[in-house]
Structure 1
Amino acid sequence: MKTLFINIKELLQIRATGIDKISGFDMAVLPKIDNAYLLIEDNVITDFGLMEACPKVSDAAIFDVTGQVILPTWVDSHTHIVYSGNRVQEFVDRINGLSYEEIANRGGGILNSAKKLNETSEDELYEQSKLRLEEIMQQGTGAVEIKSGYGLTVEGELKMLRVIKRLKENYPIAIKATFLGAHAFPIEYKENHSGYIDLIINEMLPKIASEDLADYIDAFLETGYFSVDETIKIMEAGKKYGLEPKIHVNQFTAIDGIKACVENEAVSVDHLEIVTDEDIEILKNSKTMPVALPSCSYFISIPYTPARKMINSGLPLALASDYNPGTTPSGNMNFVVATACIKMKMTPEEAINAATINGAYAMGVSATHGSITKGKRANIIITKPITSFYQLPYAFGTNLIDKVMIEGKFI
């Protein structure tokens, strides 16, 4: 089946093959064609260009999108959308003055989610999670990474990863699974860190590998959670099973975690609300993608990733939602892009690069997602008529999406 879009006001993020990420000042450039066409065959982008060069395609479904913008779907490289219930009470607790750490110390936070998850059946967990997946697809996300980490037991973690696998099998959106058994220490291991790390390495990982349930491994490398040395052990163990690291780091403190991640060739380091000059130097010329999560900063009122400093230093930067029940109960990447512009002073061009092509790099789908490139998947957002793509972050509370296409089909 062929689909031809004509009279596109702006066709954004057009790239040649072989470009997998954008860094530094290049992030300020978002290649586009005004008054363009786009041709799709089945689930693949096959041609695009100026309307004056638009081919005649007799057997195509033709859509005249005069006044509308087309761009690649968002790539959300950091989420926790498989969870049970919610943490609404903690939202109110924060309003009443409790900090993230105080809530965690009284049994809330990640341990609260783990308790609920272990009381929920796999089928019920799937039913809850698929609604969140369907929602983010409607909001323009065409590829998503999903983490475990609310099980914190062998069966709980396997349950989460099996649900992610079911979502992957039943929906057209590209999904990568990340094993995050090292999200927090269960209460029974609070004084026995080595015992829980042994459980992760010697029991969880072999079973996950035997069922081929994960693509990446993660840990919450942070003061009060997993230390640098503990995280190194987990990264090394994961790599023995072919799981590359994608690590939570520098959310609240900087404890040389980024150095350890880069040395262990992490695909990405995520959060980065606190970034030192030394961290920036370490990230330069590495393969590791820094990932900012502005919705989390917004929701729990913590500092934002210093995007301007990082980009001006020549680094790449990706944006992701961190969709989770406690600190970011939203997977709306349109809001993520707008918040990056408003609060992190990223330009619209930088923010869209960060949420598309750099997001694709951060979850290993650069070859197929993240840009309008011949041969890549036909995953596109078609906006409503707008003045320019700048309106996307400007009108941050308005749904400006007309249609979303994933794998060549409207959803």
Structure 2
Amino acid sequence: MAEHDGGLRPRFPPWAGRNFRLLVGASFVTSTGNSGATIAAAFAVIESGGSATDVGLVAAARTLAMVVLLLVGGAVADRLPRQRVMAVANVVNACSQALFAALVLTGHATLWQMAALTAVGGGAVAFFTPASEGMVLSTVEPAHASQAFSVYRLATNAAGIGGAALGGALVAAFGAGWVLAVDAVGFAVAAAMRARIDVAHTARAAQSGGMLRELREGWHVVASRMWLWGIVLQFSVVNGMVNAVEAVYGPLVSRERLGGAGPWGLALAAGGVGTACGALLMMRWRPRRMLVAGSLGVLPLALPAVALALGLPAWALAAVMFTGGVAIEVFAVNWMLALHQEIPGDLMSRVSAYDWMGSVALTPLAVALAGPSASLFGRTAALWGSAALIVLLTVLILFVPEVRRMERRPHLPDAVPEPAPAPAMDGTVKGPAR
């Protein structure tokens, strides 16, 4: 990511300017905290006496709030300065995580409180995510898009390596509350960094019509591209299965067979190492058929469920998570490039909102039903079923002609200017991952 001039001060590549470095730095901070907080939230429920169903309900609350608010978040992100939307969302996350931590540390956390605070965090993500999709190309030249996407994801995923391992260790040593508190501080720091991003120089196209009209325009773009809505439908189920495994089954299996939060945190960290290696791979590998290469990268997402079903030891689970991390990064970078190649820039946040809403639409249901499914069919059968669905849908998507035929262009087209910021009521402009 950076070179050194022989001294202590790093020399960044010419294309990685101040705005890009602030964007990457903020993502590094929040990803570090969130990796640990994900583990902490699950174990906070377990330590309070919660069941597998309770763990699933708390995890589902976050995603449900995100699904409900994503379309609004996408429209807002295409109307207001995206970096401000992201900063405000980070402030909301900081407040919700701080209160969550306080309740856990004082021993007063109840199931409904944990679910409600998790939902608040999910609502903030609904505004953050569509805004973030359009920010990378706002901070670099289009010619450096592939490098920028890879570096951005490399930094984010590298943070997840240490965050997951450290989070699991801290939960085991000090309890979930302190990890949630650290995450709250991280969100506050990231908000300050994102507020300093200056993209006022970026030309912006004027918006016409109201929010409903803009949402219809975004829907038309999605519905007219079979490759886009087909993969979104695929991930609606895939994300549900992956989240059920990682949010519910993984922590429970780890507690019963592997020794608790520490080994599960290390397994998640191994997945982070894999994504970092995948990002390094994608900085150099530019497959001509982007979506074919990306879709093949989805298949290894079934492996963690298989490993848990087979009762593999912690080291083997970590190896499986590493492999899945490498593969999903191949998908993620190619998917980002496909979107930026095929979707007009002024519609990116709205299309991203439909993408995310569809991709996580079934996740609350899948996570909420993970516990009951394990009780009804047995945990091993539920894990095998999750793996089978991931493989089946991924194979089917490769039969879509547009997926097989889309080719990478030599260079991404010039970025379409971002939309003009909408004036607030007081005359000022006021302005939250696959």
TM-score by length of 1: 0.23
Instruction: Report the TM-score, using the length of structure 2 for normalisation.
Output: 0.22
- RCO higher in structure (CA 8 A, sep ≥6): 2
Larger helix share, 1 or 2: 2
